[in-house]
């Protein structure tokens, strides 16, 4: 059994943004030399997300509007968490979008359907944050 | 270490439907010969879901009503994604329900609590779609 | 390859409560002797959740209010599932919060960012319920 670990760092200039990180995850799999196994990709911060969906700009705008409806940023005072911080909505948005994805590795490749792409979802940006990649297999 | 991979195909006749696929996943575990390990079950499409909940018809109706409240199908024009397509709501519904489940394999069986059942959740049906099963263990 | 399995039992005295179980999961990793691998932690019941977020009491109150907004407990009769039971909302709340987390094990430790903590989320308490811990690695 082989294992591989890496951290990917991101610094998003806005409060919220979605980044397609699929090629960076495939690069990790390449570097690991693992042909068959499972790959965990998770946000190491609790106000960001890793998820799989479509790389379509209209959908990304829909997600922004939808998350603001389900867990609005403002007014800040609606959340108890926002006494020293203003990011309670980011904790909730990340809950909806999910912390992590597990992806199969087959023949050294991400084993994906036709439109699956991996995204880093930043909901409280403007600072350095990390994603963990852990692969096990052989 | 052993690995196993299979695709399950589904063609749902309606736009939305929930299918209990537990016995098909147990069949995959049987075929793999793996006694101890982890089993990933994920939708390969971004408008469908794999999740674990109760096989109770009332709850399934509740889920339908609830998802329509949180991410309504219509009016189609409320979503930017719906210029060439009409399935933006399916992308959002699948986000709520989740893309994947990880299940433990113990003594060659799905290691489940008393009511856990695995479902394929279709939110944009009437065409062939796939679920990936990847098992690692020994 | 080594595997480890354990069940953690909880009996929450209220209908809803969040419990930080991080140290209990680390104890499982210690007991397993596994240094590198993946650890699955999942609710074995379909009205409870395992998730990762911040151990901050204000946020936990926000989550309670937020889940009651997205999937209210009452009136019970709004849900078809509530003919013999009254816990349909718990099934939906657990769907939002998630059934499981996958965590990386590195050097025998939970491989976590600075604020990540694992929680058991009870949404239909006042009875014995279980969490499964399954670790694979070496």
ipTM for the assembly: 0.97
User: pLDDT tens-digit profile of C103-133?
Assistant: 999 999 999 999 999 999 999 999 999 999 9
C127 and C29 Cβ atoms separated by less than 8 Å: no
For residue C75, cis peptide bond before it (omega within 30 degrees of 0): yes
Distance of residue C130 Cα from the nearest chain A Cα, in angstroms: 22
The confidence band for A126, taking pLDDT boundaries of 50, 70 and 90, is very high
pTM: 0.98
Q: Given its phi and psi angles, is residue A98 left (phi above 0), alpha (psi -120 to 50 degrees) or beta?
A: left
Which residues in chain C touch residue A80, judged by CB atoms under 8 angstroms apart?
57-59, 61-62
Q: Which residue of C has its CA nearest to B56?
A: C81
Is residue C12 within 8 Å of C126, Cβ to Cβ? Answer: yes
Chains near B (3 or more Cβ pairs under 8 Å):
A, C
Q: Where are the beta strands (DSSP E) in chain B?
A: 2-11, 17-20, 37-43, 48-53, 100-106, 109-110, 117-122, 128-137
- The DSSP code for A35 is -
Centroid of chain to Cα B118:
7
3-class SS shares of chain C: helix, strand, coil, % to 5: 30, 40, 35
C-alpha to C-alpha distance for C105 and A58, rounded to whole angstroms? 37
The closest of C94, C133, C120, C112 to C20, measured between CA atoms, is C120
Q: Do C53 and A44 touch (CB under 8 A)?
A: no
Chosen for mutation from B63, B67, B70, B117 (greatest number of chain C CBs closer than 10 Å) is B63
| 3-state helix/strand/coil string of A53-86 | ECCCHHHHHHHHHHHHHHCCCCCHHHCCCCCCCC
Tens of pLDDT along B84-102? 899 999 999 999 999 999 9
pLDDT at A84 over 90: no
Mean pLDDT in consecutive groups of 10 residues from the start of chain B, 138 residues: 97 98 98 98 98 97 98 98 95 98 98 97 98 98
């Amino acid at each position: 059994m082989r294992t591989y670990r890496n951290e990917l760092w991101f610094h998003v200039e806005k409060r919220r943004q979605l980044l397609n990180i699929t090629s960076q995850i495939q690069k990790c799999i390449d570097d690991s030399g693992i042909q068959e196994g499972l790959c965990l990709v998770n946000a190491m911060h609790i106000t960001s997300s890793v998820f799989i969906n479509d790389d379509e700009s209209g959908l990304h705008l829909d997600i922004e509007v939808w998350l603001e409806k389900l867990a609005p940023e403002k007014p800040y005072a609606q959340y108890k968490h926002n006494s020293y911080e203003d990011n309670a909505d980011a904790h909730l948005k990340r809950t909806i979008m999910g912390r992590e994805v597990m992806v199969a590795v087959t023949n050294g490749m991400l084993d994906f359907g036709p439109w699956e792409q991996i995204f880093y979802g930043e909901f409280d940006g403007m600072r350095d944050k990390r994603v963990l990649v852990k692969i096990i297999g052989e």
